[in-house]
Structure 1
Amino acid sequence: MPPAVLAWALLLGVLAPLPALPQPQPQPQQRRRVQEKEATFDRTYSDWVDADLLNIYAFNHTVLRNRTEGVRVSVNVLSDHKDLPVLFVVRQKEAVVSFQVPLILRGLYQRKYAYQEVSRTLCQPQSKAEVETQHFYVDVSTLSLNASYQLRVTRVENFVLRTNEAFSFNATASQPQYFKYEFPEGVDSVIVKVTSAMAFPCSVISIQDILCPVYDLDNNVAFIGMYQTMTKKAAITVQKKDFPSNSFYVVVVVKTEDEACGGALPYYPLSKHTSPDEPVDQHNRQKMLEVMVSPAITSEAYVSSMLFCLGIFLSFYVLTLLIACWESCRQQKRKGLLAAMDSPSLDTGHSRSIPESFLGHVPYDTYGYGSFENGSSGSTEAASGSLGSAEVSYGYVGERSLENVAGRPRLDSLSSVEEDDYDTLADIDYDKNVIRTKQYLCVADLARKDKRVLRKKYQIYFWNIATIAVFYALPVIQLVITYQTVVNVTGNQDICYYNFLCAHPLGNLSAFNNILSNLGYVLLGLLFLLIILQREINYNRALMRNDTHALECGIPKHFGLFYAMGTALMMEGLLSACYHVCPNYTNFQFDTSFMYMIAGLCMLKLYQKRHPDINASAYSAYACLAVVIFFSVVGVVFGKGNMAFWIVFSVIHIVATLLLSTQLYYMGRWKLDSGILRRILHVLYTDCVRQCSGPMYVDRMVLLVMGNIINWSLAAYGLIVHPNDFASYLLAIGICNLLLYFAFYIIMKLRSGERIKLIPLLCIIGTSVVWGFALFFFFQGLSTWQKTPAESREHNRDCILLDFFDDHDIWHFLSSIAMFGSFLVLLTLDDDLDCVQRDKIYVF
């Protein structure tokens, strides 16, 4: 066959039509019957539907522009076909609402709950005409063979809430309720308060814009708007600027489970014929609630409250200035009187003889010493040489010794050691043991280091806390801004634990009043820094003119710790304000960290007054405070109900107490090494077995025994009770130790023959009273992040001051004043010793 013919044959074969495939035979189309009925309100329609029938109910109603009515559709499916539910579709202007019955809602762990009775309120679009007739249709269909149901459409009475009028209603998970509120003229902000006598079932309160559809089911109520979970109380502040239509919906939904409100998950035993995935019927989850909308405070109230807050704390500046002027005038008059008398004598004060109640019988050899470091007991060994050869001389610097003071030789007494008395090369450490382990110490014994060295040492406290403050505050501010942004964007008001009944927003801040009330910490901390600065300037001027009082008398002046205390008070205000931007479980340490620092710095300052040479360095002090903050975080996160944690913490607490007690008792002259147990046994054998002598340092022993009793009791309390608020428990430990040491200091000061001047006495009395009132308001407990947000709101209360500040705000006011007063007490407590030589001031 020729190639051309072959090619044509192949081409024709390709183009030949394929054999026809068999076509599918058309099935006869099943026609569904549609039955449309004209329906009216307030009538119950009992009907049935199956796979071949579609029922349509046509409704119409008249809508007035100046009057809003709610329309509610209620259905009840009588047939039990869970696999083939009945579908209801409501078609209306601008919206379509559909739901199936049984209504299936999911809870925690994807549990399914079925509801046979369902009621839904239809959203009401705005009408532009004065009078408008609106139509809507209810379509009922199913794939079941036969399903009977009941349908009823009613008008909702009191659909529009009235200002300051309470309205009661019932709601269930399948029968949510919502109402409309319109802002009256002149009202820019309102508080929506919802209350119930029943804690459970748990419910959700939502504020939504006037839009269709309305999200009013448990599985979609959090999609838009603001919402809160609720047991007995809920309150949401709504601002007019957030709703362009000047109106909003108040939506109330009952949750399928109570776990979100702190309740237990329901237990439904499954029979052997029941599948775990089968929905569970829920009954009796009905809740009665009451809603009331009240106007919030006006802008004038914001201004007056801010002026009130500023006025309170600025008055302290004025009072301080007046006292400073009065003190300056008094000093000028005193100098003029001394100049007129031509007798520049020092304040002779009162007798400085040792009271017998304080010292008892003072032996001739008062320089016995004891130390774990040397393994010897103070009751069996004494220093030799000139240290034990003179009588103790106590008394104010009077006219008799004025010439010696002017010439500035040291007084010849056992409380001061001349440089010539010991070899500065080989025996300097031994001399330190001798000095610090004397039975009766004076400040001069513990103020032997160079003043410039000590000044730099204590200035490190200020610079370190300033550095800590910067690095701590910056991420804190960034974090709380993020928290507030999340709250504003998502509308989830369960994130922050406010007192919602007294939470006044300003700008993006949800509770501006809780932030404003922290202003006192900042202003009073700044005032304290100014007072310290003025004192330091006066002291430096006295040193420049070689003032005898500044050089040789009084408690050594070191201001670094005071600066650190003032800075810590200011940072407490700043971080407390940051915490109250969004108080919750994850940022509690913002509010407590500097409280621990303030308590620790106050104890260090109180100890430094009589022990300037041996006080802790800034590095070790802040390291210890960091450990405390670490335990605070770990205790809150892991301590609840964790016995292992409480055992470890209690052991560490007791061991730390014993080590600190040893440090204080032996003035640091002991060593923690492998021989510590041998030295302890040697001391016990020497003092308790061989001669059964009493403690060498009686007063210190009394303080430390009381301190150990208190701390061991607190450790036992924590181990047994397991307090929920571990941060407050840890702070209570620090405050108890501070109060114990302060009380001991006051008692020993009075027993030593010293006196308390008028200003510190007034500060002590006033501060004690203020602390009492402050603690009263602190323990009101308006919210707590140890519970769920819904349970926390049960403690919410209305404002009690100027309709702007609540109990916790008053705690901020009073505690800032009390802390400032406490700092003044520490600053002025020993002003009576300014004219007393340091070798006449006792150490205790």
Structure 2
Amino acid sequence: MLALELPLVLLLLAVPGAGAFPEALAAKNISQKEAEFDKNYTDFVNSELLNIYTFNHTVMRNRTEGVRVTVNVLSEQKKTPLLFVVRQKEAVVSFQVPLILRGLFQRKYLYQNVSRTLCQPPTKSESEMQFFYVDVSTLSARNASYQLQVTRVENFVLRTSEQFSFNATAAQPQYFKYVFPEGVDSVIVKVTSRMAFPCSVISVQDILCPVYDLDNNVAFIGMYQTMTKKAAITVQKKDFPSNSFYVVVVVKTEDEACGGPLPYYPLTKDEPVDQGSRQKALDVMVSPAITSEVYVSAMLFCLGIFLSFYLLTLLIACCETWRQQKKRKRLLAAMDTPTTDTGHPRITPDSLLGHPPYHGYSYGSLENSSTLSTEGTTESMGSTDISGYTGLDHFKRRIASSQMRHLCIAMERSLENVTSRPRLDSLSSVEEDDYDTLADIDSDKNVIRTKQYLYVADLARKDKRVLRKKYQIYFWNIATIAVFYALPVVQLVITYQTVVNVTGNQDICYYNFLCAHPLGNLSAFNNILSNLGYVLLGLLFLLIILQREINYNRALMRNDMQALECGIPKHFGLFYAMGTALMMEGLLSACYHVCPNYTNFQFDTSFMYMIAGLCMLKLYQKRHPDINASAYSAYACLAIVIFFSVIGVVFGKGNMMFWIFFSIIHIIATLLLSTQLYYMGRWKFDSGIPRRIVHMLYTDCIRQCSGPMYVDRMVLLVMGNIINWSLAAYGLIVQPNDFASYLLAIGICNLLLYFAFYIIMKLRSGECIKLIPLLCIIFTSVVWGFALFFFFQGLSTWQKTPAESRQHNRDCILLSFFDDHDIWHFLSSIAMFGSFLVLLTLDDDLDCIQRDKIYVF
């Protein structure tokens, strides 16, 4: 008895509240009892009585056995709780009953029934008899009744791929041990429950004593995450030197962390609230994670998909080159063919230069135009050497009579200046404002752009070098934006990932934990790998544009009439910007998926806005090269969109004033843009606008009822305003939680509307769509449909709490490695690439049509 009293005195001196009564310990009556497992002991203690229960059990090296202590205080002991101290080899566990745990705002919650599992100290021998003691004491002068029971935990060691069910409360946490089997380097711990609340915490901890298994200390070590119905943690063997770990399940005192409501609490009282029974039934199962072979096969699959596009592009390029060479051989053979009786070859000038007979509309023609400009003649004669062929003069007269009106611009230039100046001068000294290429006669912009029927020649009158430099700024600006945007993003997400790895708090990042495969320090490598398609396909698109630009520049160098005066004007700056934006979308989406959460959502959406905006600008530029927006104003508008995106996510949820303000801005911006498009920029935003609007309404609507001058543009703008006003009303009424996606939907709807209008007007103008762009349109539409299906699966959402987000988690569906969102990455990157190809090839049918025969719409 004396041997037990000395260590007990030292122990109680270390217990809070016991050190104040060192003199009284000598006077305590100590009652020591030999106790047995699975037996319920009903007893009492007071300030003069200390009960000690002695247990012994056999610990074996190759067998782990859990021991659980359950205590229930029968009397009211709020102010003088009972203290239970469990002394065992290499560990001491102490807790008071009633147990008081703190919640949000330091709220106190009281639990009368407490149960704790004891960790098993290791042993080096095959078997060892170990003792542990349960000491019960109190400072209450009255007798305090309690019940004590010590039991062995069944299924304390979890078996691989076997489900185990159990119950837990805030005062009765549970934890189990798992040992990695041979050949398994990674496992995934899945915990499920049929009931969302009470909120709980799942933790994976190393084999240490004591185990942190209470709500106020479970986050001290290991990895943990909150849970409602689902939780999953991937555990790697290399992180646990003992090749084993504990799975700890703790029920929280409050549900606020899981999105639940806060309970009623009497704030006027400083007394703990009795929580009663907050019990939750859970199932736990530990399954082997994927092997390294699956990682390798997934990487090869990802690379194979996108490199096949490179192979297909190379194959098409080779076929096209072969076709051009075959056509050139036929042309040379035709030129060597003996002439007919009239001395002419049997080919026509149209077939000789690859030009089909010109067709189009008569508007804008010069009836008596029979003379080519000196520059045009020089370029024509320099294109092909066919000396002795008198049909060439007839061919030139035919071009002159086909109303190539814009060739007359350079009539006043001298032959010496034209022939001495190279086609591709250095652009370093060329500025758009240095000179105006429009001649004085018949060149007033207000006259040209307000005609009822416009042709591309009317809006392609500026010098090619000036426009080339203007549109190259798009590429250099977006490249600069990408560098300055990406560097802090990469630094930030690396910091996020480091915080997750160091603290173990897996509530920081919103992964699909049921399909999150780590690699190195990355927690969800599969979500990062699936973004590779954006980068590879964006690079492929840049290579395609580069090849097209090289061919076009070669045609300009040899003064090819078709490249100079036919088809949609070729400007590649916006295409380069689109390809760069696609690559940056992949990079920033990968950065976002390193740790997706509320604070870095804009990484994943910023370049989506830019892609949508650049596509609309490119569509508009095709028919309006002279009056398209500059890079500075375009990127400024996109910056405003991104600014509203951030403000909407931070302040828009449930804020009616913000939605009213945004809806007004949306409608005003739509009206201003509609006016800009309708009048081709020939209007002023000044104090005289109200007077001009009233005058227009009076003259066109009251004085005489006249229809719109530009019917096609009016139809587009009316439909656009209806759609945008409807979207503004929807946002104001519904106030969607995901403001970033809502804003992106506005941009996509406007892009689709304009693209549909472009296709309809193209067909309505007598133009056709070639086979390649037609196949691209069909293929891209199908891929977009499947991509959007996987996008709306919603595997996680940062608009809710991490625990609520995990309710949407799903298993992998492709190669046991990729989930639905990864498939969205695959398909959307392919669909964007296809959309870019549509924009690139849509007007290839006009390459042989004069620009004064191509309608503007």
Is the TM value for this pair above 0.5?
A: yes
Structure 1 residues 425 and 579: CA distance shift in structure 2, 3 A: closer
Which residue, out of 141, 158, 170, partners 2:137?
141
Instruction: Name the CA distance, whole Å, in 2 between partners of 1:550 and 1:401.
Output: 22
In structure 2, the residue matched to 1:382 is none
Say how many residue pairs are matched. 780
Contact 1:410–1:416 (8 Å) recurs in 2: no
In structure 2, the residue matched to 1:514 is 527
Structure 1 residues 227 and 350: CA distance shift in structure 2, 3 A: farther
Trace 1:625-644 onto structure 2 (pairs within 5 A).
Answer: 625-644=638-657
Which residue, out of 831, 837, 841, partners 2:850?
837
Contact 1:189–1:297 (8 Å) recurs in 2: yes
In structure 2, the residue matched to 1:164 is 161
Q: Which runs of 5+ in 1 are unaligned?
A: 1-25, 355-361, 368-385, 391-396
Question: What is the deviation of 1:734?
Answer: 0.4
Question: What is the deviation of 1:674?
Answer: 1.0
Contact 1:565–1:598 (8 Å) recurs in 2: yes
Which residue, out of 461, 467, 479, partners 1:448?
461
Does 2:179 correspond to 1:182? yes
Does 2:325 correspond to 1:332? yes
Contact 2:438–2:461 (8 Å) recurs in 1: no
Instruction: Name the CA distance, whole Å, in 2 between partners of 1:401 and 1:511.
Output: 70
Instruction: Name the CA distance, whole Å, in 2 between partners of 1:347 and 1:714.
Output: 48
SS in 2 for 1:151: strand
Does 2:814 correspond to 1:763? no
Does 2:246 correspond to 1:256? no
Does 2:327 correspond to 1:314? no
Instruction: Name the CA distance, whole Å, in 2 between partners of 1:186 and 1:172.
Output: 35
Q: Which runs of 5+ in 2 are unaligned?
A: 1-21, 336-346, 370-379, 381-388, 413-435
Trace 1:372-411 onto structure 2 (pairs within 5 A).
Answer: 403=393, 406=396
In structure 2, the residue matched to 1:86 is 82
Q: C-alpha deviations, 1:790-839, integer Å up to 9, x for none?
A: 00000000000000000000000000000000000000001111111111
SS in 2 for 1:80: coil
In structure 2, the residue matched to 1:488 is 501
Instruction: Name the CA distance, whole Å, in 1 between partners of 2:391 and 2:98.
Output: 102
SS in 2 for 1:733: helix
In structure 1, the residue matched to 2:809 is 796
Contact 1:415–1:441 (8 Å) recurs in 2: no
SS in 2 for 1:555: coil
In structure 1, the residue matched to 2:228 is 231
Question: What is the deviation of 1:432?
Answer: 0.8
SS in 2 for 1:506: coil
Structure 1 residues 598 and 777: CA distance shift in structure 2, 3 A: same
Letter in 2 for 1:59: F
Instruction: Name the CA distance, whole Å, in 1 between partners of 2:805 and 2:481.
Output: 33
In structure 1, the residue matched to 2:760 is 747
Letter in 2 for 1:655: I
Does 2:88 correspond to 1:75? no
Question: What is the deviation of 1:341?
Answer: 3.0
Instruction: Name the CA distance, whole Å, in 2 between partners of 1:28 and 1:470.
Output: 73
In structure 2, the residue matched to 1:205 is 202
Contact 1:169–1:289 (8 Å) recurs in 2: yes
Q: C-alpha deviations, 1:513-538, integer Å up to 9, x for none?
A: 00000000000000000000000000
Letter in 1 for 2:321: S
Q: Which moved more, 1:344-353 or 1:649-658?
A: 344-353
Q: C-alpha deviations, 1:134-183, integer Å up to 9, x for none?
A: 10000000001210100000000000000000000000000000000000
Structure 1 residues 820 and 722: CA distance shift in structure 2, 3 A: same
Structure 1 residues 388 and 835: CA distance shift in structure 2, 3 A: closer
Instruction: Name the CA distance, whole Å, in 1 between partners of 2:443 and 2:491.
Output: 54
Letter in 1 for 2:253: T
SS in 2 for 1:473: helix
Does 2:240 correspond to 1:240? no
Question: What is the deviation of 1:428?
Answer: 7.5
Contact 2:367–2:403 (8 Å) recurs in 1: no
Question: What is the deviation of 1:111?
Answer: 0.5
Question: What is the deviation of 1:353?
Answer: 4.5
Trace 1:572-583 onto structure 2 (pairs within 5 A).
Answer: 572-583=585-596
Contact 2:180–2:244 (8 Å) recurs in 1: yes
Contact 2:437–2:463 (8 Å) recurs in 1: no
Q: C-alpha deviations, 1:671-697, integer Å up to 9, x for none?
A: 111111111222222222222111100
Question: What is the deviation of 1:338?
Answer: 2.9
SS in 1 for 2:254: coil
Q: Which moved more, 1:425-434 or 1:498-507?
A: 425-434
In structure 2, the residue matched to 1:729 is 742
Question: What is the deviation of 1:425?
Answer: 9.9
Contact 1:388–1:414 (8 Å) recurs in 2: no
Q: C-alpha deviations, 1:609-641, integer Å up to 9, x for none?
A: 010000000000000000000000000000001
Does 2:677 correspond to 1:679? no
Which residue, out of 426, 434, 445, partners 2:447?
434
In structure 2, the residue matched to 1:13 is none
Structure 1 residues 232 and 388: CA distance shift in structure 2, 3 A: farther
Letter in 2 for 1:215: Y
Letter in 2 for 1:713: S
In structure 2, the residue matched to 1:129 is 125
Q: C-alpha deviations, 1:219-267, integer Å up to 9, x for none?
A: 0000000000000000000000000000000000000000000000001
Question: What is the deviation of 1:419?
Answer: 4.2
Trace 1:27-106 onto structure 2 (pairs within 5 A).
Answer: 31-106=27-102
Structure 1 residues 287 and 411: CA distance shift in structure 2, 3 A: farther
SS in 2 for 1:109: helix
In structure 1, the residue matched to 2:108 is 112
CA RMSD of aligned residues (A): 2.4
Question: What is the deviation of 1:387?
Answer: 8.9
SS in 2 for 1:36: strand
Instruction: Name the CA distance, whole Å, in 1 between partners of 2:219 and 2:680.
Output: 63
SS in 1 for 2:444: helix
In structure 2, the residue matched to 1:12 is none
Question: What is the deviation of 1:284?
Answer: 2.9
Letter in 2 for 1:666: Y
Instruction: Name the CA distance, whole Å, in 2 between partners of 1:769 and 1:326.
Output: 26
Letter in 1 for 2:816: D
Letter in 1 for 2:228: T
Contact 1:183–1:247 (8 Å) recurs in 2: yes
Letter in 1 for 2:291: T
TM norm structure 1: 0.89
Q: C-alpha deviations, 1:419-467, integer Å up to 9, x for none?
A: 4999999968971111111111110100000000000000000000000
Structure 1 residues 32 and 555: CA distance shift in structure 2, 3 A: same
Contact 1:351–1:753 (8 Å) recurs in 2: no
SS in 2 for 1:35: strand
Which residue, out of 606, 609, 612, partners 1:593?
606
Structure 1 residues 403 and 799: CA distance shift in structure 2, 3 A: farther
Structure 1 residues 718 and 27: CA distance shift in structure 2, 3 A: closer
Trace 1:264-663 onto structure 2 (pairs within 5 A).
Answer: 264-268=261-265, 276-342=269-335, 343=347, 344-345=349-350, 346=353, 349=356, 352-353=359-360, 403=393, 406=396, 413=403, 416=406, 418-419=408-409, 431-663=444-676
Structure 1 residues 645 and 402: CA distance shift in structure 2, 3 A: farther
Letter in 2 for 1:186: G
Structure 1 residues 670 and 476: CA distance shift in structure 2, 3 A: same
SS in 2 for 1:612: coil
Letter in 2 for 1:286: Q
Question: What is the deviation of 1:352?
Answer: 3.8
